[in-house]
Amino acid sequence: NAGVTQTPKFQVLKTGQSMTLQCAQDMNHEYMSWYRQDPGMGLRLIHYSVGAGITDQGEVPNGYNVSRSTTEDFPLRLLSAAPSQTSVYFCASSSGLEYNEQFFGPGTRLTVL
């Protein structure tokens, strides 16, 4: 199993550009989530999903959209990038029975100029 994969690993955007961060898991996990981590800080929950077709907002959802059309994929869309969105983005997944035990991807390091 590849586990949780994220692409790209690095990305530089200009203010106002949009892009999609990809996240996929091959463990048939129901629960998926997106976090951001600013330098020297803890992780903050952006959006999460408890299954295909179901998404909900986390702590810091503004400026981001998500969708969950399949169990495997959970893309995160930045609508109009801002310098404040410069961060490392982590995707995670877990099974419905043990959703507290999340498996994290390697992260995407995003810089917005």
Q: In the numeric block, which tokens belong to residue 111?
A: 């810089």
Give the phi and the psi of residue 19 in degrees, each rounded to 5. -165, 165
Contacts with other proteins by CB under 8 A lie at: 4, 31, 33, 35, 41-45, 48, 50, 56, 58-59, 90, 92, 99-107
Q: How far is the CB of 2 from other proteins (least distance, A)?
A: 14
Q: How far is the CB of 25 from other proteins (least distance, A)?
A: 13
Q: In the numeric block, which tokens belong to residue 37?
A: 């981590």
Nearest to residue 104, comparing CAs of 57, 62, 53, 43? 43
Strand partners, 7: 22
Q: How far is the CB of 1 from other proteins (least distance, A)?
A: 16
Nearer to other proteins, 84 or 100 (CB): 100
